[in-house]
Amino acid sequence: MLIQRTVLLGTLLGVMMGFSQLPHPNSIAQAEYVPGELIVGLSPLESALALQAVEFVGRVKEQNPALNAYVVKLAPHIKMESAEEFLKVLPGVRYVEPNYIYHIFATPNDPSYGQQYGPQRIQADLAWDTWNPQRTTFVAIVDTGIDSNHPDLTNKMRRHSNGAVYGYNTINNTTNALDDNGHGTHCAGIAAAQINNGVGIAGVAGWNPSIPNAQQFVQLMPVKVLDANGSGSLSNVARGITWAADNGAHVISLSLGSSSGSQTLSDAVTYAWNRGCLVVAAAGNGGSSSPSYPAYYTNVIAVAATDSGDRLASFSQFGSWVDIAAPGVAILSTIPNNRYASYDGTSMACPHVAGAAALIWAQYPNLTNQQLRNLLEQNVDPYQPNGTRAIAPNAGRLNVNKALLAAGGGGGTNPELSGFTISPTSVTGGNTATGTITLSAPAPTGGFVVNISSSNPSVASAPSSVTVAQGQTTATFTINTASVSTQTTVTFTASANGISRQANLTVNPAQTSVTLQSLTISPTAVWGGSTATGTVTLSGPAPAGGAVVQLRSSSTRARVPSSITVPAGARSASFTIQTTSSFSITTVTITATYNGTSRSAQLTVWF
């Protein structure tokens, strides 16, 4: 162990002095972060040595056992870039990143007290008439906390047997999650303010006048991760998510975010999803298509904001990564000290979806989180894009009543066009693709006719109409393509009864020959005895039978297989580089060869 600690210390000194053998430092992202703090994610099997190495740069301030992640407070004389470079190449370290700051997404206007339009627009009022909850569903508002004494919220709080509110404050590690900002209380009211109590507003989830105490089947859990200014660290947000998942939350509502993604946050979201939670997040208020995190992650429902006329709000993020829209302009809801106010923001849209999810899940508890997500995203109403600003193809504005009916296999006798997809989305000219039409309910007697049009029928064509058979909710059709000299994207439009859905198909020219385009290695520097990953990429899809790429290494310190096969139709394949220990730093050249073309990349092996 003494030898290992000596080597590590020497390596750290090398980083500080800028030895040329070391990899070039990656600059810390120019986003806002906690000064002098890094989050280090470790693999379960090789944590001990890495934790010892932390002593050379600082101390472990806190940890998240669920993610095996540690917040490291750096010593005053240690630069973040140098510590990051030192730590990230240690065996057992999965990632190193700054402790980013996350902010609330609301853009409040002057407080106003107006009529709610959100519950009516998303048809929550219709859902209440048929709602028949079977289990209690918990909604975690991961935010600035909740004013649990507010008369519209106090009876909707999850509580311990002694009456104390069931919540958590990651900022000071207490169970006191009272709101000192107002944002979290506003979101909580949108999701689940008490209904028909003669006070204030009505939340989305939920109520049925014929079922006594039905509202108790949806309860709120305050998880305070943001301070009085509406800001909080990445580590606090991640711990809030994992705490909610570990403490019984079914739906996690995240009206917060940052322009910077992080492995810690991605791991936290995946942790919650894998434990069966549905994670909903505000898409962001930048008015652009740039990703916002955590909304951008695959296991999160990203929510855009619309106004009372169903037009996408000018401030809302947009793009193909945004999954659904909900009311987010002039939304009246609860704020601390028994008051109410109207705010704008995707922060307000997010709890509409979270409340809808809780309402449906309370009635249909056997749904998986993926099934519930599909119900919410596929049973929507049309929205109006803002100019060229639009969300994902076939996405729409939340309709909780449609989703509730669809969950029970219902939907009435008036189906609507709810989905349109093309698979695959990219083909070589001359080949075919398949279009699929989806309805919100089974087709009536005589079937349901959907009109189909192509933006470029000479390149890709389809039948002018498709009929969904009586009693069915889907129908498929064939899309034929012609040979092209350049890549061409064709937009298909499906329309019926005033509702239109679009999907794109990319038609590619035939590949005359495929060559080896590149070889990359990640990471570019490793400790001896550990592994790196090499990836070969072709200029086009591999031919039938696959493409066999020959591999060789310039040194026995880094061993590679003699060849790697890129499967037919794929463009890339990866292989493992196994290294050995030594008492020197060695730069090894790995070379890949295919069809007479060679590409090389270098790997630095430390000690």
Model pLDDT for residues 174-203, shown as the tens digit of each residue: 999 999 999 999 999 999 999 888 889 999
Among 41, 71, 100, identify where a domain stops.
Answer: 100
Among 407, 430, 445, identify where a domain stops.
Answer: 407
User: Lowest-pLDDT range, 27-41, 211-225, 485-499, 501-515?
Assistant: 27-41
Q: What is the mean pLDDT of the chain?
A: 87
User: Highest mean pLDDT range out of 49-63, 129-143, 430-444?
Assistant: 129-143
The pLDDT assigned to 110 comes to: 28
The answer to whether position 110 is within a domain reads no
CATH code where residue 571 lies: 2.60.40.10
What is each CA distance from 559 to 48, 93, 575, 582, 589, in whole angstroms?
26, 22, 11, 14, 11
Active site annotation includes 323: no
- For 465, other C-beta atoms within 10 Å of its C-beta total 14
pLDDT above 80 (res 23)? no
The answer to whether position 53 is within a domain reads yes
284 and 333 together in one domain: yes
492 and 400 together in one domain: no
47 and 9 together in one domain: yes
Q: What are phi and psi of 124, to 5 degrees?
A: -65, -35
CB 291 within 8 A of CB 364: no
The two structure tokens encoding residue 402: 């449609």
The answer to whether position 412 is within a domain reads no
- Which residues, 6 or more positions from 100, have their beta carbon under 8 angstroms from its beta carbon? 29, 31, 32, 33, 34, 233, 234, 258, 260, 262
256 and 356 together in one domain: yes
Give the pTM: 0.62
- Which residues, 6 or more positions from 196, have their beta carbon under 8 angstroms from its beta carbon? 202, 207, 209
What would the pLDDT profile of 96-106 be if each residue is shown by its tens digit? Answer: 999 988 766 54
346 or 410, greater pLDDT? 346
Q: What is the DSSP string of 456-494?
A: -TTTEE--SEEEEPBT-SEEEEEEEE---SS-EEEEEEE
The answer to whether position 567 is within a domain reads yes
566 and 462 together in one domain: no
The answer to whether position 228 is within a domain reads yes
pLDDT above 50 (res 343)? yes
The whole-angstrom separation of Cα 380 and Cα 398 is 5
DSSP state of 79: -
Give the closest residue to 466 by CA, choosing from 484, 485, 447.
447
- Which residues, 6 or more positions from 3, have their beta carbon under 8 angstroms from its beta carbon? none
Beta bridge partners of 417: 439
The whole-angstrom separation of Cα 455 and Cα 433 is 16
The answer to whether position 112 is within a domain reads no
CATH code where residue 82 lies: 3.30.70.80
Read off the pLDDT band of 20 (50, 70, 90).
Answer: very low
Active site annotation includes 77: no
Give the closest residue to 337 by CA, choosing from 538, 142, 111.
111
User: Lowest-pLDDT range, 207-216, 223-232, 245-254, 400-409?
Assistant: 207-216
Among 508, 525, 545, identify where a domain stops.
Answer: 508
Q: Tokens 């009311």 — which residue?
A: 327
382 and 421 together in one domain: no
The answer to whether position 123 is within a domain reads yes
The two structure tokens encoding residue 334: 């609860």
Catalytic residue among 233, 262, 347, 553: 347
pLDDT (average), residues 573-585: 90
Give the closest residue to 225 by CA, choosing from 268, 259, 192, 194.
268
CB 422 within 8 A of CB 433: yes
The pLDDT assigned to 509 comes to: 84
51 and 150 together in one domain: no
The whole-angstrom separation of Cα 197 and Cα 83 is 56
Active site annotation includes 347: yes
- Which residues, 6 or more positions from 436, have their beta carbon under 8 angstroms from its beta carbon? 419, 420, 421, 422, 423, 474, 475, 476
pLDDT (average), residues 506-510: 85
Expressed as residue numbers, the domain containing 469 is 417-508
| CA dihedral sign, ordered 44, 237, 155, 163 | positive
In the chain, the number of structural domains is 4
Catalytic residue among 82, 148, 152, 183: 183
Catalytic residue among 143, 147, 179, 323: 143
CATH code where residue 187 lies: 3.40.50.200
532 and 589 together in one domain: yes
Read off the pLDDT band of 512 (50, 70, 90).
Answer: low
The two structure tokens encoding residue 511: 């590949």
383 and 504 together in one domain: no
Map residue 512 onto helix, strand or coil: coil
Read off the pLDDT band of 129 (50, 70, 90).
Answer: confident
The answer to whether position 289 is within a domain reads yes
Read off the pLDDT band of 418 (50, 70, 90).
Answer: confident
474 and 529 together in one domain: no
340 and 488 together in one domain: no
522 and 500 together in one domain: no
